[in-house]
Amino acid sequence: MRVAVFASGNGTNFEVLANHFKNKDIPGELVLLFCNHPDAYVVKRAKRLRIPVEVFTVKSCGSKQQYEEKLLGLLQKYQIDFIALAGYLRVVGPTILDHYAHRIINLHPAWLPEYPGLHSIERAFDDRRAQTGVTVHYIDADLDSGPIIMQEHVPILPTDTVETLEERVHETEHRLYPQALKKALENEKEQG
């Protein structure tokens, strides 16, 4: 399986996944990082790890439709079989979704269906919940609603700040995402 990671920011989860691919802990091959922010730190991580990087924005393409068409062409050029979203801060539209149905997974920093969308860690913290979590799920046409692959709770401690909670959520993501991606790729291979 040829895998692409889509990311928009710092890229810690991308680097964790890249290292798991390198160590053969995850079946398949990580062949592409796509980023929609030219200045995102994840681009530097990919270059350091010698993973091909492609970057462009919706604005540079003229419209969301043209962006998605260009992105689909890129995925076909790299012969991508499967996509892992790792902090990709865009909704994947039908052009990509239809072509990769049940072959795109997302990492979300909450126990879905609680707190879909942005700022989920802050929202759970502000609501004084006893716990939040991390969810890895397939994506569909709705926001953070596709079938769940794996989830893990993260307690919100009385001594937590948003920053300490975020740190523990990220630690959980780094552990859970490689396991979930491995499981998804193995399932895809079985269904082949």
64 is in an annotated binding site: yes
From the list 108, 137, 170, 174, the catalytic residue is: 108
User: Residue 26: its pLDDT value, please?
Assistant: 97
Average pLDDT, the chain: 96
Task: State mean pLDDT over 165-177.
Answer: 98
Average pLDDT over residues 6-14: 97
Please say if the pLDDT value at position 190 is more than 90. no
Band the pLDDT of 191: cuts 50, 70, 90.
confident
More confident residue, 89 or 43: 43
pLDDT at 189: 85
19 known ligand binder = no
Q: Is 95 annotated as a binding residue?
A: no
pLDDT number for residue 84: 98
108 labelled catalytic? yes
3-state secondary structure the chain: CEEEEEECCCCHHHHHHHHHHHCCCCCCEEEEEEECCCCCHHHHHHHHCCCCEEECCHHHHCCHHHHHHHHHHHHHHCCCCEEEECCCCCCCCHHHHHHCCCCEEEEECCCCCCCCCCCHHHHHHHCCCCEEEEEEEECCCCCCCCCEEEEEEEECCCCCCHHHHHHHHHHHHHHHHHHHHHHHHHHHHHHC
Q: Is the pLDDT of residue 192 over 70?
A: no
Domains and CATH numbers, the chain: 2-191 (3.40.50.170)
